[in-house]
Every structure is written in structure tokens, then in C-alpha cells.
Amino acid sequence: MKIITTISEMYDHSDRLREQGDRIGFVPTMGFLHEGHLSLMRKAREENHALIVSIFINPTQFGPDEDYDSYPKDLESDASLCREVGCDVLFTPGADEMYPQGTLTTVSVAGLTETLCGASRPGHFDGVTTVVSKLFNIVRPHMVYFGLKDYQQYRVISRMVQDLNMNIRVIGLPTVREEDGLAMSSRNAHLYNDERAGALTLSRSLDAAREMIREGIRDPRAIEKKVAGIIESESTNRIDYVSVVNADDLTPLSSIERRALLAMAVFLGDTRLIDNTVLEISGD
């Protein structure tokens, strides 16, 4: 596995791969890799001639009071996991390489970014879409892989790729969970024991919502209320938002007709976790 830290070397490498007709699969990450990232990497490995993974903790997607400085890092262990999965290139640029003169250009997707995490983290998605566009321009992948735990991010990036005719296939893969249901996240490393226990209410509340759908409940507010009650039953938890929205355009829903997204963000101490499920009404 080659480790590349400069944009010019990454351009040259991708040029060579494209010239020899290789399909490039790309998994952009912020590192501290876990099974969720590895599932994306394995799929990308299977479906492409070359697998490129990036690790870059992107400062522009963190708000001033967020965890940029304390975001977990372990480049050595990340590199050995990448090697095990059969990654061809690990691209790890520094912030000076990615933003040598800051940036005057922002890629911004309207609408989809105004709700859920976009509402509580102003500017976050502009940071994400701008850095992801830069990474796509540098790596020039054919296929890119994102986890559906970040459902809104997946929708926003898919729309950006479509609107800007990027000629890249965006693949979303299911959330990977610990045995007890906790969605895998690099930020789980920050949880204290009681917070880790409190965090289990997130996946439990998603189960409860799916059960309500099976029982025939179609009122988004009733589901949000039940879910919020389960999360708030643990004193470690503080809800940022719990929302049932249209699963395609993320707009508010007054009734669940076919498919809806139940999404949540919850603070456990200083750690903010997100989780979601798509609620589907079966046709029978």
C-alpha cells in the first residue's frame, strides 16, 4: 500500500490508474477507522480495480465549539487496517496541503442541508461538500462509498454529484452496529461508561419506532414523542433533535405514507452521536 500525502502525487497516481483503464473506488474518511469504514472499504475493494482511502480531519466542517481539536486519531492503526483490507493508496494530506491559502470557494447544497444536522451545525455541510468536492477532484474516483449512519450527508453528497454532473457513482451502505446495537462511530471512543450505557437508548428507540409502524401508527409526532421519551429516560442524554422527515428530500411530514426517515442527534456529555432508520410501510 502506497501512502500519499501530496495532492500532486495523488493526481499523478490517479492519472496512471485511469490511463491503464482501472476503475477507482474511493472511501473518504476522517480516520480512527472502525468496522463501519471497513465495510465501505471491503465493498469498494470488491467492486473496483483500485481502492483509495483518504484520511483528513477537515477543519472547515467543525463549528467553533465543536470537537475538531479532540477528534480521535490513530494513523498507525488506521494504516494497518487499510493494508489488511487491501487498500492500494492511503491519501493523508495535511491541512496546509488541502487549504494552503484558506478557501474563497464554497460548494453549497441548498434545501437538504437546512434541516436535521444542518439546522444545529450551521456551515457543517458546506464544509463537507467543499472538502468532498476537492477530494473528488484530486482522487478522480469512479465509485465512492458512504455510510448511511450519516444519512443526510449521503443525500447531500449524492445531490451535489448529480447537480454538478460529477460522473461518479455514490454508494450508500448500511450502518454497522456493535452487538448491543450502538451504531459504530469514531466518536464512541469519547464515551464514559455511563454515557456508553445511555447511548444504547438510541438504537432501542429506533426499534421502538419500527414497532410502532408495524402496529399501524402513522403519526410522525407520536413517533418522535415516544423516541424522545426513551432517550430522555437516561440522565446522561440530552436531545439535540429527533425528527421524522421525508426520506428523500428531508422535508417535514404530517403523516407517514410510504417511507420516512427517523433521524436523531443526542449529546452524551460532550459527545454528540447521530443515528437513524428508514421507516418503511410494507404494501400488504
Strand arrangement of the beta sheet that strand 237-246 belongs to = 237-246, 259-268, 271-280
User: Cβ of residue 164: shortest distance to ligand PAF, in angstroms?
Assistant: 16
Look at residues 23, 17, 18, 20 and name the one whose alpha carbon lies nearest to residue 2.
17
| Closest CB to ligand PAF among residues 56, 245 | 56
Q: What is the Cα–Cα distance from 256 to 244, expressed in whole angstroms?
A: 9
What does the block give as the cell for 241? 433533535
**In whole angstroms, how far apart are CA 87 and each of 24, 42, 180, 234?**
11, 9, 29, 41
| Closest CB to ligand PAF among residues 53, 223 | 53
| Closest CB to ligand PAF among residues 135, 266 | 135
Q: What is the Cα–Cα distance from 17 to 4, expressed in whole angstroms?
A: 15
User: Cβ of residue 121: shortest distance to ligand PAF, in angstroms?
Assistant: 11
User: Cβ of residue 224: shortest distance to ligand PAF, in angstroms?
Assistant: 25
Q: Which residues bind ligand PAF (CB under 6 A)?
A: 28-30, 58, 61, 128, 131-132, 150, 153
| Closest CB to ligand PAF among residues 34, 210 | 34
Q: Is residue 37 flagged as an active site residue?
A: yes
Annotated active-site residue in 37, 124, 142, 190: 37
* C-alpha radius of gyration, the chain, whole number: 19
User: Cβ of residue 43: shortest distance to ligand PAF, in angstroms?
Assistant: 16
Active site residues: 37
